[in-house]
Structure 1
Amino acid sequence: MGRRGRPPGMPEPGSEQPFDDAALPPDTPAVPPTPPLPTVPPTPSAPEPATSEPVAPAPSAPTPEPVRQTPARQDPPTVQQPVVPPTPPAPEPTFEDIFGTPTPDAPEPDLPRHEPPTSRPAEPVASVQPDDALGIEAIADAVGASTSQTPWATATSAAATEAPRERAPKATTTRPAKSAKPKRQRSGKRGGIVIIVALVAILAAVFGGGWLAFGPAIMDRFSEPEDFSGAGSGEVVVRIESGWTGAQVATMLEEEGVIADQEAFYALLVADPSIGFQPGSYRLALEMSSQAALDALQDEASRVVLQVTIPEGFVIQQVYARLAEQTGIPEADIVQAASDPSVYGVTGSSLEGWLFPATYTFDGSESPQQILQTMVDRMRQAMTERGVPEDQWQTVVTFASLVEREGGPVANFPQVARVFQNRLDIGMLMQSDATVHYGIGDFGVITTTDEERGDAGNPYNTYVHAGLPIGPIGAPGDAAIDAVLAPAEGDWLYFVTIDPSTGETVFSNTLAEHNQAVLLFQAWLRENPEYGS
């Protein structure tokens, strides 16, 4: 193909060369010479003038193209193109960038075409690249001459048109190969595409990973909270602690499976700030709607109320059995929880006497330790309220348990307390059947045998061992404690209940009076053998 911007066979602008008459054969008629064209003085950096003979471009780089000269406009000749640095990539120069814009009103002169003499030896032609050879042949075909006879050459000065033609050195250029620029352009485009693709991949990874990590949370945040419908099914006991906020209640309900989403429940609390909760345990259903759960927590019927009643005088084994029966806690768990009295601040060998007899209300969520601690704390409260020094608590509890087990009717407690106190004051044995029964673990009878009363191996046997028993023998109540702290006034040293069914008791100052009262009791036993031994 020809050079860009010029049809094949068309001579380059400004490259016309004056015709050389000396080169014609003798028989060729003379042609008047064409007036010389005005020339442009060369610039200091212009290359040397080219000869009248055509110069083949060097294989490594093409010969710079000259600037077309016209009578109407003087353009400076083309200078040697500077070497373009590798970076940054520049666009490929156009025809106008190299040769300038042609003047439309100055047509090129039509010069005659002459054939060179046949006897002229052929000049050696430098080897050309296939693309250049094709371009030269195309031009030769257009003008009707071979590539070795093309008369066009570069004109760079006026001397080149007037002086005899002398062969000049072939001009060379350092113009970079054309293929280098497209490669740089392709590299730049390819690099830009790679950067764009990389950025897209990074953004996709960042936003894609972010969505995977936070997308569900974002959707949950802006979506309606989940909620069950209806009153639910099944049963679960939940506990609200004192001081809990509405948010804590909502969280607990979701964790227990009562509601589906704490946010739905909390939204109801926000809508009505007057709603409050009472601490305690509540019996609810599973998978309730938030509204149904809220209504149940406001309903006293949903509260779990376990009332446990421990009668006065119960020994510890009876207390454990009653707790297990009324709370549903296995008795073994309760016994295990009471194995170390020091955990509850008790100095004795067991919790006997320290589990205060009363009616307790539990909500079903308490552990065995919590229940036992509640009962011990109630006994400590009784001691504190009465001003009993702490170092005397164990003694008072033991003494009161003796009165509780022996006293019968509460009305008799102050007198019974006085009898035992009078005996202690004179060093007399207590001689309590209740202590003997406790030592042998027999709590269903009220009498003792001579053998049982004489058993020194029973540490609780007050017929043998002086003073109070080694520890409490039951759970004393408020009345027994008050009787010990404030016994009745009297000199009694003996007492006997002659009618256990009514609690009738006879108090005596002497042994003879006491023996008469014992006969009355024995008569009652004969009438009621189920109470005897």
Structure 2
Amino acid sequence: MSMLDTERSRRREIWHRVKGYLAVLVSLAVLGTGGYLAFDFVNTNVRGVFSSIVAADYQGSGVKDVEVVVEEGQTATDIGETLVDLDVVASTEAWQAAVSANPEASSIQTGTYRLRTQIPAATALQWLLDPSRRVVQRVTVAEGLRLEQQVEALTATGIPAEEFERALERPEELGLVDFAEGEPAGFLFPDTYDYSDDDTATDLLRQMGERYGTVAEDLDIAGAADDLGVSERDIAIVASIIEKEVFIPEDRPKVARVIYNRLEAGQRLQFDSTVYYALGTYPPDAIPGEAFAPTGPPESPYNTYKVDGLPAGPISAPGRAALEAAIDPAEGDWLYFVTVNLQTGETRFTDSEAEHQRNVEAFNQWCVSNGNPAGC
């Protein structure tokens, strides 16, 4: 027997039951047993019969895979209409019945889900409540990137760079921390993010801005700033320098200490990384001999060879480890450091300018020994 024949047979059976209930209803009315009894009988029996006629529902495990998108702000009714349109459930009535019977129905999350066509409404609801059914897409933005590099990484989502650039022109929509001062550069947290096909450039950037705020609160950057006698923005800038200057993770707190010691001593930071940022380039594209000549790069609030104190803002987007180092620097009197071996990352720290010059010479010798006599 075909599914159509089965459905017709079921409807004939239901109609016979309805006629029987109606006959009882008429008898009750004739016998004068009262309207309430008649209503109660109809309410508990005839209504259920008509519901089974109207609320067509599928049986079985479905026919083919389908993706269902649950959008923000949708009601259960909206979701039911989507399911009917995609032939996931047979009727909105069956869907509403499933929703009414399941107290968890209100916790359906937005996202894209893998379901199947022609499944029972209760099954569809159960699958929409199952996080493993969500279609998850992820994009990773690495630590230490400049803003334009972050945008480049985000284009892996398929969203064009132009859309991110337009979104960045509306920083008030990006959930930035207050101490970002409306500047996204350095305040979009590097991490791995989930997204759906419906997410916009603004949606993704807002995730990053809000994630920065979450991490900042978790690390209590505000409290650390008070303890260190600096601002929250200062900590963000210090962390961004650490991200670009450190080769070995264990050296992060030591580099943080060098930065704070120099600031306290009133010495210019003179970090190559800030100059490269001012130039809008970075090794190996930059030529150090030209970048650091006395006439140097153009005047810039990011050139710490020419300005006192910290640069005007972050020179990269620091990750959690760099922020942790910036709020908890190592103990030491160091004022200088230099990496003397780019293969091992060996970095030497000192509070003596004379010793620092010897360390710089050791680095130059390493460069010569490794085929770069002009300097690395």
**Quick check: 2:256–2:325 contact (8 Å CA) kept in 1?**
yes
Secondary structure of 2:222 counterpart = coil
Aligned partner of 2:222 among 370, 388, 394 = 388
The question of 1:468 aligning with 2:310 is answered yes
Equivalent residues in 2 for 1:6-25, closer than 5 Å: none
**Quick check: 2:279–2:297 contact (8 Å CA) kept in 1?**
no
The question of 1:297 aligning with 2:297 is answered no
Query: What is the CA deviation profile of residues 191-233 of structure 1, one whole-angstrom value per residue up to 9, with x for unaligned ones?
Result: xxxxxxxxxxxxxxxxxxxxxxxxxxxxx99953567898466
Query: What is the CA deviation profile of residues 470-516 of structure 1, one whole-angstrom value per residue up to 9, with x for unaligned ones?
Result: 11111112222222222222221110112233321111222221122
User: Residue 207 of structure 1 aligns with which residue?
Assistant: none
Change in Cα spacing, 1:449 to 1:261, as seen in structure 2 (3 Å) is same
Aligned partner of 1:313 among 136, 144, 149 = 144
Could you list the runs of 5+ residues in structure 1 that have no partner in the other structure?
A: 1-219
The question of 1:279 aligning with 2:112 is answered no
Distance 1:372 1:353 in 2: 12
**Offset of residue 275 of structure 1:** 6.4
Q: Identity over the aligned pairs, expressed in percent?
A: 33
Q: Which amino acid aligns with 1:308?
A: V
Distance 1:520 1:513 in 2: 11
Distance 1:257 1:341 in 2: 41
Could you list the runs of 5+ residues in structure 2 that have no partner in the other structure?
A: 1-49
* Count of equivalent residues: 312
Query: What is the CA deviation profile of residues 235-274 of structure 1, one whole-angstrom value per residue up to 9, with x for unaligned ones?
Result: 54512659x7754532443467755632232334456667
Query: What is the CA deviation profile of residues 43-70 of structure 1, one whole-angstrom value per residue up to 9, with x for unaligned ones?
Result: xxxxxxxxxxxxxxxxxxxxxxxxxxxx
User: Residue 20 of structure 2 aligns with which residue?
Assistant: none
Secondary structure of 2:361 counterpart = helix
User: Residue 410 of structure 1 aligns with which residue?
Assistant: 249
**Offset of residue 290 of structure 1:** 4.7
Aligned partner of 2:200 among 361, 367, 382 = 367
Distance 1:532 1:262 in 2: 73
**Quick check: 1:232–1:288 contact (8 Å CA) kept in 2?**
yes
Q: Which amino acid aligns with 1:331?
A: A
**Quick check: 2:188–2:209 contact (8 Å CA) kept in 1?**
yes
Change in Cα spacing, 1:227 to 1:439, as seen in structure 2 (3 Å) is farther
The question of 1:253 aligning with 2:83 is answered yes
Aligned partner of 1:341 among 171, 177, 186 = 171
Distance 1:265 1:378 in 2: 36
Equivalent residues in 2 for 1:181-330, closer than 5 Å: 224-225=54-55, 231=62, 235-239=66-70, 246-254=76-84, 259=89, 261-270=91-100, 278-284=108-114, 288-291=118-121, 293-294=124-125, 296-297=127-128, 300-325=131-156, 327-330=157-160
Distance 2:300 2:94 in 1: 66
Secondary structure of 1:311 counterpart = coil
User: Residue 344 of structure 2 aligns with which residue?
Assistant: 502
Secondary structure of 2:349 counterpart = strand
**Offset of residue 522 of structure 1:** 2.5
Structure with the bigger percentage of helix: 2
**Quick check: 2:66–2:117 contact (8 Å CA) kept in 1?**
no
User: Residue 400 of structure 1 aligns with which residue?
Assistant: 239
Distance 1:349 1:275 in 2: 39
Distance 2:137 2:375 in 1: 37
Distance 1:488 1:410 in 2: 13
**Quick check: 1:433–1:447 contact (8 Å CA) kept in 2?**
no
The question of 1:521 aligning with 2:363 is answered yes
User: Residue 17 of structure 2 aligns with which residue?
Assistant: none
**Offset of residue 401 of structure 1:** 0.6
**Quick check: 1:281–1:364 contact (8 Å CA) kept in 2?**
no
Distance 2:126 2:63 in 1: 13
Distance 1:257 1:393 in 2: 54
Query: What is the CA deviation profile of residues 68-126 of structure 1, one whole-angstrom value per residue up to 9, with x for unaligned ones?
Result: xxxxxxxxxxxxxxxxxxxxxxxxxxxxxxxxxxxxxxxxxxxxxxxxxxxxxxxxxxx
Secondary structure of 2:231 counterpart = helix
Secondary structure of 1:499 counterpart = coil
Change in Cα spacing, 1:430 to 1:301, as seen in structure 2 (3 Å) is same
Q: Which has the larger radius of gyration?
A: 1
Secondary structure of 2:340 counterpart = strand
Distance 2:164 2:285 in 1: 28
Equivalent residues in 2 for 1:476-487, closer than 5 Å: 476-487=318-329
Which moved further from structure 2: 449-458 or 387-396? 387-396
User: Residue 451 of structure 1 aligns with which residue?
Assistant: 290
Distance 1:280 1:269 in 2: 16
CA-atom RMSD, angstroms? Answer: 3.5
Query: What is the CA deviation profile of residues 439-490 of structure 1, one whole-angstrom value per residue up to 9, with x for unaligned ones?
Result: 2222343975233122233442211222111111111122222222222222
Distance 1:447 1:496 in 2: 19
The question of 1:437 aligning with 2:267 is answered no
Distance 1:372 1:226 in 2: 44
Secondary structure of 1:388 counterpart = helix
Aligned partner of 1:424 among 259, 263, 269 = 263
User: Residue 6 of structure 2 aligns with which residue?
Assistant: none
User: Residue 24 of structure 2 aligns with which residue?
Assistant: none
User: Residue 186 of structure 2 aligns with which residue?
Assistant: 353
Change in Cα spacing, 1:269 to 1:440, as seen in structure 2 (3 Å) is same
If the length of structure 1 is used for normalisation, what is the TM-score? 0.51
**Offset of residue 416 of structure 1:** 0.6
Q: Which amino acid aligns with 2:314?
A: P
User: Residue 115 of structure 1 aligns with which residue?
Assistant: none
Secondary structure of 1:506 counterpart = strand
Distance 2:323 2:87 in 1: 48
Distance 2:253 2:348 in 1: 14
**Quick check: 1:228–1:287 contact (8 Å CA) kept in 2?**
no
**Offset of residue 415 of structure 1:** 1.0
**Quick check: 1:282–1:297 contact (8 Å CA) kept in 2?**
no
Q: Which amino acid aligns with 1:324?
A: T
**Offset of residue 413 of structure 1:** 1.2
**Offset of residue 328 of structure 1:** 2.7
Distance 1:532 1:302 in 2: 55
Change in Cα spacing, 1:332 to 1:274, as seen in structure 2 (3 Å) is closer
